[in-house]
Structure 1
Amino acid sequence: MSRKTSKTSESVGKGEALTPGRIVVLALAVLALVFVFENTRPVKIRLLIPEVTVPLWTALLAMWAVGALCGASFAYVRKRRK
């Protein structure tokens, strides 16, 4: 094997530690943590009959998950029709 085609642990240096993709993921993680810590106050949510008190970030995360599931199911149904 030539040295150019094989990648060893020696060739992975600090220059490859911070790739653009890793920087974006790190920035999104920091923004998510800031969002959570800024939205910790409790809110009351009425679900048909019961009234639930949860932190605002939990309610927003739950609604994001519901929206993601609806979007994924819509995409799945649309893909199957083709």
Structure 2
Amino acid sequence: MAETSTEHKAHTPFLSRPGVRRLAPFVLITAIALVFVFENQDSIKVRLLIPEVTMPLWGALLIAWGLGILACAFTVRRRSSRHKRRQK
């Protein structure tokens, strides 16, 4: 018998979807990192090549975390585009 529009494909559970499985570790690590960052409220001196800056520790940690996320995104993007070129 032909399928009608009311019949649907089998529903995949939310946690087994590929997008959720990739995003879940990122969300967990981000939450832990943000808790760690905002628990460290002391002011510290940070040397930025030549100038020395006094800033809250959470600000320095947040900057380092953001730079790490950018480096990771850049690396993942380059790796995926490199694999696409090899397959041609």
Task: State the aligned residue count.
Answer: 56
TM-score, normalised to structure 2, is 0.53
- Unaligned 5+ residue runs, structure 1? 1-23
More helix by share: 2
- CA displacement at 1:39 relative to structure 2: 1.3
- CA displacement at 1:65 relative to structure 2: 0.2
Q: Could you tell me how far apart the structure 2 residues matched to 1:55 and 1:42 are?
A: 4
- Unaligned 5+ residue runs, structure 2? 1-26, 84-88
1:63 matched residue in structure 2 = 64
TM-score, normalised to structure 1, is 0.56
- Across the aligned residues of Structure 1 and Structure 2, the Cα RMSD in angstroms comes to 2.7
TM-superposition CA deviations, 1:11-61 (whole Å, max 9, x none): xxxxxxxxxxxxx98xx49x946751x311101000110001110011001
Q: Which moved more, 1:38-47 or 1:59-68?
A: 38-47
Relative distance call for 1:75 and 1:34 in structure 2 (3 A) is closer
